[in-house]
Amino acid sequence: MKNLKFIFLVLLFSCINIETSNMSEGTEKAYFGGGCFWCMEPPFEVLDGVIEATSGYMGGETENPTYEEVSMGNTGHVEVVEIEFDPNIITYSELLEVFWRNIDPTALNYQFADVGSQYRTEIFTVGSQQMEEALQSKTDLENSGKFDKPIVTAITEAPTFYIAEEYHQDFYKKQSARYQIYAEASGRKGFLKETWGDE
């Protein structure tokens, strides 16, 4: 009898693990550099289908870079957000639309008050499908006539993602007042309102 109970518990635990694993198997990841990562987490985290937005660094030479190293602009990294999402609820193309509407894609090596290559806009794609959709979305934006200047946002294959320090994660929640002041003073909020209005 004890052996039967043991076998039952093992099978039950295995089923639970399988169900949990299947729940996470269906998710995908996307990577966007849009200037300060503090400002890039909020527009994605409110979306249905987005499981989590995580701040980090991509595109540089140094392994396991620190914020201090990246902020000096010497490592080649970009401040990015890693978006884990459920493609059955929200598509990659929809994420791209949110990305374009939260940056100035005509600014080369800066975003609003933040200057340096570490604040450049860049889409890091995972797989050929994301690359195709990202390139098409950039072409669509260029052809829309929304901006008079050229779209300078780069699109490259995703290299290693390095997660940023814990105090950067969900900064807009942890330091709400400080974040609101920064987002306003940087000029980002005003630019996005002027460019997109209530669209």
Show the tokens assigned to 109.
């090596």
36 is catalytic: yes
The residue from 31, 33, 36, 121 that is catalytic is 36
β-pair type (50-58, 110-111): unpaired
Contacts of 133 (CB under 8 A, 6+ apart): 92, 93, 96
Closest CA to 74 of 121, 38, 107, 117: 117
Position 160, amino acid:
T
The CA distance from 199 to 127, in Å, is 30
Q: What is the DSSP letter of 115?
A: E
Show the tokens assigned to 31.
């990577």
Residue found by looking up tokens 């005509």 in the block: 106
Q: Hey, what's the torsion of the CAs at 181, 183, 187, 193, to 10 degrees?
A: -120
Active site residues: 36
